[in-house]
Amino acid sequence: MAGIPFDQLEGSIWLDGKIVPWSEAKVHVLTHGLHYGSSVFEGQRAYGGEIFKLEEHTKRLHASAEVLGFTIPWSEEQINGACKQMLIENNLTDAYLRPVAWRGSEMMGISAQSNTIHLAIAAWEWPSYFSPEERLKGIRLDLAEYRRPDPKTAPFKSKAAGLYMICTISKHAAEAKGYSDALMLDWQGRVAEATGANVFFIKDGAIHTPIADCFLDGITRRTVIDLARARGIEVIERRIMPEEMEGFEQCFLTGSAAEVTPVSEIGPHSFVPGDITKLMIEDYMAAVQPAKEELLVAS
């Protein structure tokens, strides 16, 4: 798939309740979501034909839209069914899915009270967010110039497209320097997250992770916290200052796209993927795989 533009992939996309050929899933250039960022989305993975935590992702999609002041005119059940249908239509078992909702083109201006709300769902094969070589030795992160905004200035609980503008800027700047990604601080200069994934650190057998009070509390983040605690590993959610990274032994990122990815370097700080990181990778991959009983029924 490398090198093929996404608008030229083969397959079908669910668009406003209809299944259309991939190449025909288009919007007008005067769409409000394009000009003013009035768009929300989800990123979720399917393993063995089952979409991991689909219901949680769909609930968050609806909640994200409500935060931005609009209601998606399809129920959670309809969206869940459409996501599953996209796997079947595109003959996929291991895949990435992208539901996205946005305000249409009836009004062009800051106000868009009468605009139609649209919804599309696409599914395609997408390997790990980072290359296998990077993941094995741990990825390298730069320190981002931009920070996650004050929660009083942006709807951080929404997975809103507009909030990712500074993430793209930061990731591009990091890649230009030879890094895989960038670590972002929050508005008060504390450790927050990577550009599209939550961050965890390990020291003396305990896992430390920033409090998600100005950035998205990821579904994968919560999953890994639960897995660690089920193992009896202490997980501490707290404020983490940048200088503390000097004393951490291990580091990893989590996200639906990133899954669990070890980190070897953040700016001047180095980490070595160890037993706890490897255990979280193994436990997460075991958790996302469908139960054998489900696979037998599906076959």
Query: Which residue spans within the chain are E strands per DSSP?
Result: 12-15, 18-21, 39-41, 44-47, 50-51, 95-103, 117-124, 139-143, 181-185, 191-194, 198-203, 206-210, 235-238, 250-255, 259-266, 269-270
User: CB neighbours of 290 closer than 8 A, spacing ≥ 6?
Assistant: 47, 48, 49, 50, 298
Q: Are 208 and 199 in contact (CB under 8 A)?
A: no
What Cα–Cα distance (Å) separates residue 53 from each residue in 69, 98, 231, 246?
25, 14, 21, 35
The catalytic position among 59, 159, 177, 292 is 159
Q: Are 208 and 225 in contact (CB under 8 A)?
A: no
For residue 37, the 8-state DSSP code is -
Rounded to the nearest angstrom, the gap between the alpha carbon of residue 245 and the centroid of all alpha carbons in its chain is 24
Can 159 be counted among the known catalytic residues?
A: yes
Catalytic residues: 159
